[in-house]
Each structure stands twice: as C-alpha cells, then as structure tokens.
Structure 1
Amino acid sequence: MSRRLAFAWVVVALATASTRAEVPYSRDLVPAQGIVFDNKPLTSLGRLGLYRQWYAAVPLAGAERLIEISLAPGLLFAQTDDGNFYTYDSETGQLLWMASLGRRTRDAQPAAANSRSVFVTSGNFLFALNRQTGRPIWIEDLTVEPTSAVACDEDEVLVGLSSGKVAAFRASDKSPLWNWQTSGPVLSRPVPAGQVVAIGSHDGRLYVALEQPPTMLYRVATGGEIDAPLGTYGTHLLLVPSADKNVYAVDLFSANIEWIYPSGAPVLQKPLVAGDTVYVVNAAGILGSLDARNGAVHWTTPILGGNLVAISPTRISLKSRDGDLILIDRARGSYLAGPRATYQRAGLNLREYVMAPTNEQDDRMYFATPSGLVICLREIGQNQPRPLRDPKAPPFGHIPTEGIPATPPAAPPAEATPPSSAPAAGAAEVPAPSGGAAPLKEESEGRGPVVDRS
C-alpha cells in the first residue's frame, strides 16, 4: 500500500467513523458499581474497596476483535485487528476520535503521544495523528515489522524493528534523524532522554547513544535478553530488567552500575517506579519492593505469576495468570486479597478481560476484552488520579544548568537474595579512558554486567 493511499484511507475512515455500530455485549461482563451502604459492601467491587470509574464498548463490526489497549497521559488507546484505532479520555471514558490505519493486522504495539500528536504502528507503517482530531499528519513506511512500543518526546518518535534497528524520525514531519543497529530484535520500548537515548535489545545489551551528532556513548552487556521496557527513576537512573535474573540500575550519564537487584528469576516486566520505590515482578512470580535510590529490599512476596496493573497510595494491583485480581498492601507486601478472595469470595470476575496494561502514570486500573468492552476501576474515595511521579519534577534525561555532579557508585544494598543468583561485587569491566579499551564480551558470564565505553 502506498503512503498516499494509506493517507487517503485514514481520511475516509475518519469521515465515516460515526456509522460504525457497537457490538452487543453481555451486561454480566460489567462489574456492578462499587456500593457500600452503612459500612457494608453490597457488590463485588464494594467488597474490595473498588469503584467503577467508567466503562465503554469499542465499536466493532462483524468478526472484528480488540487486540491492544495502551495508555498515554490523559489518553487510552484501543486498536483492533481490522486496523481501527480509537482514542478515549482515560479519566472519563469519553470517545474522542477514531481513525482507520488502513489494513488488517494480527498484532499491535502500544501507541505513544506528545502534546501535539499520537504515534501508532500498524503493519509496516508508522502513523502520526493529530492528538485533538485523529487526522493524519504523516505516514512512514518502515519496510519491516515494528517489534517495540512506539516512544516519543516533543521532538522525535522512535520505534524498534524486527531487523534489530531502532529508527528515529522528527515528530513534526517524519524527517529521518538516525538509526541504530543492534544485534537482535528490539522488543523493549526505547527511552528518549533529552540529548541521549537508551535502548534495550534482545541481544542482552543496553545501548546509550548521543542524539546529535549520533554517537554511541556506551554499552552494558548483561547475561540475558532485555525484552521488557526499561524503567526510569529521577532524571538519570535507568532500571534495566534482564533475563539473567537481575535488574541493573545504571546511571544514564556516567554508565556507573549504581546497584543490582538479583531477583532469582528472569525479569520480563518493566520495573515500575512509584515515588522512591521500584516494584519488580520476576518470571517465578515474586514481587519485590526496592528503594530506587540504593536497591535496598523492603520486602518480597510470592504472587504466583501475573502482571502489574496499577499502584495506588496504599495498594498494588496485579492480575493473576488465571485473570483474577490480586491486591497487595504497598507498605508491608502482605495480601489484602488474593485471586481466590477476589474471584470466589468477593465475586469479581475479570477473567474475560485478557488485556490489562500496566499503568505507569497513576493509580487507575484498565481492563479490556477482545469483544471490545473496556472498564476503568479505582479505589473508593480516590476521586482524582494519583500520579506515580511528581508532575513538577524535571523529566528523565534533564541536565541542570550547573551540570551533573560526579558521584561515586552507591554501596550495594544490605539485604540481598541468595548469592547463587547475585553477580560478584565489582565485576563490571570498565575500559581505560584512553586507548586500549577492553572489548565488549558476548555475555556477563555470571559475574556481572560488562560496560563498554569505546
């Protein structure tokens, strides 16, 4: 499909969006409103201290199915296998606009947005849509399948590709900015950080590069694939989840390994930061709470698998492997309600809601079914969203006018999991600053990350 034809398809679809009908759904799928009367909960949501903020039915036609929902500040995106793309207000559930991306697809990646545009992929194409209206701004043929979620800031948009390349375009007009080639497919969402960009790759390496002029600053080789998105804390601490069972805290600008959390199993989910705490779920189903500043372990608790959904001031919400809600006390790590308690005793059935994106913005929980039903839940009494990061804090990658003071690497945390999975202290190999840099090894050989600044 030519870019001109794809562009025309989007315009026509926007003009005819209002003619699409909503697919009927069973009211039994919508949890009854969380009601508490005389301090007695009367519904399944009320028994769990939850409230249904809103629900909506994505307009589908025939055999069309919803395949992806994703979030950006203030927005929820829903993408279907017919290439239709819907944007909702994430707090009210109001449908803002829809666009057709022009082709049927079996897979979709999370979208991204800045203050002016929404960026989304479908097939080999990258679309820039007006944030207010959904009308197309530009379309770019990537020539190969995208494998990562789209990432953007106000100036550029980035996407990882099946070829192992990360491609960057100017957000306003799709002008190519740069490409970085890694040694494996890029499944982890790139992280634009002001003057630099951080990339995690299936080849097990973290790449950090200068944007202009495009220059590789350093690489960190871990002992396993980096397929989950990178976490961030403050303005310059990268949290790198690796299949080698560790999370590495890497200073964005100095390449120092500030701390390492040996989780005991591959880390295949993004480390989620709320305030000064980072939450890590490993493949063995262990949830850990860490101090983001030094890696000290607050607590760990088994959750028997599942994924992080949202974090409130007092609770951590997860979805179990069976699709049931899990509620964990944020301060102590103890169970408030396990999957059996939410499903059998409280009577909350979310098993058909197979899509539950991790909310990295605030405390709202979002769930969706392939038949197009989307619901938003929150805690009773939390009438306004509670952001996980101070909205007034400088963005990740910010460099103050006085520069960044040089600080020594942080001491390792006092508490650690069994030493069999912990890299040896001081194992990072850092090449000399002038000439004769040590080569980058293919893996960390169980001794810790290998840093290459060449």
Structure 2
Amino acid sequence: MRKPRFTGNTLPTLLLLGAAMVGASASPSLAGSGLVSNIEAQRSGLERAWFSQTQLDRSLHRVEHAVLDGDQLFVLTTAGVIHAMDAETGETHWITRIGNPNYPSLGPAANKKYVALVNGSTLTVLRRDTGVEHMSRRLGGGAGGGPALTETHVYAPLFSGKVEAYALEDEDELTWYYASAGRVFQPATTTMQSVAWPTQRGYLYVANPEANGVRYRFETTGLVNSHPVSFDGNLFLTSTNGYAYALNEATGQQRWRYSTGSSVEHSPAVLAGKVFVTTQAPALHAVSAATGERQWLTGGINQLAGVSQSRVYGMNRLGDLVTMDLKSGVPLGSLRTSPETTAVVNAQTDRIYLISETGLVQCLHEIGADKPLIHTGEAFTEDQPAEAPAEEQPPAENPFGAEQPAGEQPPEDNPFGAPQPAEDNPFGGGQEPAANPFGDPAAEENPFPF
C-alpha cells in the first residue's frame, strides 16, 4: 500500500479543512457547552457582550447560585468559592474561598459595602470591593436559607424558624433574634422598613429591621418555597398551591391574590408594571402589579431571564432562551444554549445573564444596546381596584405584639412578639427552654452538625 504524500499545497488545504471541521463541531454552541455564538445571537436580535468561566473543578463541583447586584455579578459554587465579576465586562474583580468545601454553602447577598454567605453553620461577611473577610460568626443552628443584608445588619435564617441578626459594624456575637412558627428554608427579604421571611407552614413574617418586633404575620393557603419581593411599598410572594399575593408592606393588608392554576416554586419578579410568575406547568404569567389581573400567559417557560423595553426573555426546560413580546407575550423566537444552562433573573437591567452548571457565564443584550437599560419600575397607586375577597384581608389591628419593647419577652400565647435580646439567646451558652412553641419536637434537631 502506498503511503499518502502531502505536497506543499495539500497540507494547508488539510489544515483549513480541519479548522473548518473544528469550527463546525463547535457551532452552534461550542460543542454543547452552551456558549452562544455571535451569529446565533444576531438571529434573535441579540449580541454576546462577554463570556467568562467561574473558577471550579468541573469534575467535583457545580455552580450553587448566582446573584446580580448593581454593577457586579456574584457566583457561588458548591466548593464555597465566590467569584465576583464586572456585570458589564465580565472582568474578574476577586475570587475568595470560604469555609469547608464539603459543607453546603448558601447565598450570596450583597449591599453597597459587603457580601454575605453561609457555609455550613458559619456566617461570613466579605468586603465587596476586595473580597477580604470582614466578619465571621458561628450561627446558633443549621442555616435554612442564605443571609440577607441591610446597610447596618446581616440576617441569617435558621431551619428551626429563628432569624438571627448581627450588626455589621459591631463586635457583639448576636444583636437579637426573631422567632417564627415553621421551619425556614428561604433567605429573608430586606427593605428600608422591613425584614420579611417565609416559613414552611405557609406564613410570611414581617418585622422591623431595628429590633422593634414582628409587625404582622400573613398566612397563605399553601407552602411558600420562595422569598418575597419588595417593590413600591408592597411585598409580592407566591405559594405552592398556585397563588401569587400582593401585600401592603407597612400593614400586611392583602391588595390582591392571583391564581395561576399550577404550583409556584420561584419568587415573582416585578418589572414594567407587571408581576411575572413562572409555574411548574411550565408557564410564564404576566399580571398587572396594580390589580392582579392577568395580562397574558405563555406556556413552556419555566424561568424568567430579563425584560427590555419591548421584549421579555425566558428559559424553557430544554435550555432555550425564548424571546416574547412584552405587551402580548407572543413568542418571537428562541436561542439554543444547553439543558444545563439557566438564567440569572435580572430585575435591574436589560442584560441577559446565562450560567451553566459547570460555571460558563455569558452576557447577552439586544443589538445596539451598548449601555444597559436601568429598570426603575412603574409605580402604581393604592386607589386602583383590588381583586382579593374580603375574607382574605387580615385584620386592621395587629395581634402579634409589635408595640412591645425590644427587650421584653412576648406573652406565652403569642410567639410572634418582640425579638429576643442577645442575653436571652439559647445559643449564647444558656440552656434551651424545655418547651418549643414554634414547631414540632423534631424541629429541635439539627440536620447540619457542623
């Protein structure tokens, strides 16, 4: 058999052919990695602004959670590594490892100065600009959800139903804690006026952030598996029995209730005067933020990605990025990524952030949108009609003892009163009370013996 001969012209030809084959195998999404090519993006009216790779060992670890806050994107991995990226350029600002990679990590949460997360039962607060540790605290039990931040405090929910509060600029071990009925498996939501968190008994607790007690407790008709969202003086939350609620944040009065007809596991998003709710069906519901009336419904969408001036973007279960018309919800096209790719829900700008389990992060935006569109929201007024039935409205008077001083114990028949001071904290070395009014006896067990 004669061996093939390569002439001076044949070798470049084969090299070009091989390059073309590699290019073909990498397209349309870089050999199944989920990376969107610029050509594909342009067919959907988009362009890829940047892509980056989160630091992780893909054979051992995965992306746990990603959060967008202002000009930074924070990606947390199952190894306890947090990667801070510039949201507009993808540039790495810093990478920090915290805790034990074998312990579960929850979070992150961010404010203007700090980033907080939990590893095992240890709360860690980092400086936002450098990633250097600012404080670390051992929690009083297993963490049920990621932390939440205000300008002055960090709040850590425990699965037992307690929410511990620590001052960001104070060396005290514990400032106070709130107690609630039911286990907590979601992060709290913080605003200038409130700290709100759901429990597995279907309750939403809303407390004053400065230790003046729980203002009210709102009861849903199902479980709450997502944290509430605050917008324009209102709280929006969903429940597993398919309802979305709008509450007056200050009073707890229900403004409206909307039924999706399917279980809801994710938090709603409020954008462009609409409340977007994704269900297990799957489907994306666009509801008027003012009245709770349905504006449109698009099937097949199980996650919201973002909203521009005229379009809505969502993900389906196949990993496709679906484009919809903002006014009607009519699908306009789709863009294939990969089944392992999800979106970071962006209620702040028109940027679309896609992230894979193996840490590939990419940012897309509409063609020509070189500067991000900042969502300021469309306020709605209280004089617009509400749809909720009268029996669903909570009483005007607050039965949960919000007027009690911060340092006093609530009456025995009221477990929802003022927060407990640090010296009464059962996690400060004292004995745990013999009776537990906040749940079943099993709630005292800690499934995270860290």
Indicate how the Cα distance of structure 1 residues 137 and 48 shifts in structure 2: closer, same or farther if over 3 A, else same.
same
Matched, 1:428 2:392: yes
Matches within 5 A, 1:185-334: 185-234=183-232, 236-303=233-300, 305-334=301-330
Indicate how the Cα distance of structure 1 residues 434 and 362 shifts in structure 2: closer, same or farther if over 3 A, else same.
closer
Superposed displacement of residue 196, structure 1: 2.6
- Matched residue, 1:92: 89
Matched letter for residue 86 of structure 1: H
* Distance in 1 separating the partners of 2:265 and 2:129: 34
Bigger Cα Rg: 2
Identity of aligned residues (%): 27
Superposed displacement of residue 61, structure 1: 4.5
Matched letter for residue 58 of structure 1: T
* Distance in 1 separating the partners of 2:363 and 2:97: 24
Matches within 5 A, 1:11-410: 27-28=30-31, 29=33, 31=35, 33-34=37-38, 43-61=39-57, 63-68=59-64, 69-105=66-102, 107-173=104-170, 175=172, 176-234=174-232, 236-303=233-300, 305-337=301-333, 341-342=334-335, 348-353=336-341, 355-389=342-376
* Distance in 1 separating the partners of 2:274 and 2:394: 28
* Distance in 1 separating the partners of 2:319 and 2:71: 26
- The one-character-per-residue Cα deviations of 1:383-419 (angstroms, maximum 9, x if unpaired) are 122222259x9xxxxxxxxxxx9x67x5335xxxxxx
**SS of structure 1 residue aligned to 2:270:** strand
- The one-character-per-residue Cα deviations of 1:214-260 (angstroms, maximum 9, x if unpaired) are 312211111111111212221x1111211232111110112221111
* Distance in 2 separating the partners of 1:75 and 1:350: 24
CA contact (8 A) 1:54 1:376 kept: yes
Superposed displacement of residue 111, structure 1: 0.8
Superposed displacement of residue 171, structure 1: 2.1
* Distance in 2 separating the partners of 1:65 and 1:436: 44
Q: Does 245-254 or 367-376 show the bigger shift?
A: 367-376
CA contact (8 A) 1:233 1:292 kept: no
Superposed displacement of residue 431, structure 1: 4.5
Matched letter for residue 52 of structure 1: R
* Distance in 2 separating the partners of 1:102 and 1:435: 41
* Distance in 2 separating the partners of 1:213 and 1:180: 8
**SS of structure 2 residue aligned to 1:224:** coil
Superposed displacement of residue 286, structure 1: 2.5
Superposed displacement of residue 52, structure 1: 0.9
CA contact (8 A) 2:246 2:255 kept: yes
* Distance in 2 separating the partners of 1:172 and 1:140: 13
Indicate how the Cα distance of structure 1 residues 206 and 96 shifts in structure 2: closer, same or farther if over 3 A, else same.
same
- The one-character-per-residue Cα deviations of 1:311-369 (angstroms, maximum 9, x if unpaired) are 222222111112222221111110112xxx53xxxxx333332x422123212222223
- The one-character-per-residue Cα deviations of 1:250-280 (angstroms, maximum 9, x if unpaired) are 1011222111111112222111111322111
**SS of structure 2 residue aligned to 1:244:** coil
Superposed displacement of residue 294, structure 1: 1.8
Superposed displacement of residue 287, structure 1: 1.6
* Distance in 2 separating the partners of 1:432 and 1:256: 8
**SS of structure 2 residue aligned to 1:46:** helix
TM superposition score normalised by structure 1: 0.75
Superposed displacement of residue 428, structure 1: 2.4
* Distance in 2 separating the partners of 1:369 and 1:84: 16
* Distance in 2 separating the partners of 1:330 and 1:435: 42
**SS of structure 1 residue aligned to 2:117:** strand
Indicate how the Cα distance of structure 1 residues 299 and 382 shifts in structure 2: closer, same or farther if over 3 A, else same.
same
CA contact (8 A) 2:253 2:393 kept: no
TM superposition score normalised by structure 2: 0.76
CA contact (8 A) 2:98 2:119 kept: yes
Superposed displacement of residue 62, structure 1: 7.4
CA contact (8 A) 1:159 1:167 kept: yes
CA contact (8 A) 2:216 2:398 kept: no
Superposed displacement of residue 32, structure 1: 5.2
Aligned mate of 2:386, from 401, 412, 422: 412
* Distance in 2 separating the partners of 1:351 and 1:195: 40
* Distance in 2 separating the partners of 1:64 and 1:434: 50
- Matched residue, 1:399: none
**SS of structure 2 residue aligned to 1:111:** strand
- Matched residue, 2:422: none
Superposed displacement of residue 145, structure 1: 3.1
Indicate how the Cα distance of structure 1 residues 143 and 64 shifts in structure 2: closer, same or farther if over 3 A, else same.
farther
* Distance in 2 separating the partners of 1:307 and 1:289: 13
Matched letter for residue 376 of structure 1: C
Matched letter for residue 427 of structure 1: E
Indicate how the Cα distance of structure 1 residues 383 and 145 shifts in structure 2: closer, same or farther if over 3 A, else same.
farther
Indicate how the Cα distance of structure 1 residues 181 and 314 shifts in structure 2: closer, same or farther if over 3 A, else same.
same
Superposed displacement of residue 134, structure 1: 0.8
CA contact (8 A) 1:222 1:244 kept: no
**SS of structure 1 residue aligned to 2:195:** strand
Matched letter for residue 243 of structure 1: T
**SS of structure 2 residue aligned to 1:427:** helix
CA contact (8 A) 1:64 1:80 kept: no
CA contact (8 A) 2:53 2:360 kept: yes
**SS of structure 2 residue aligned to 1:218:** strand
RMSD: 2.9
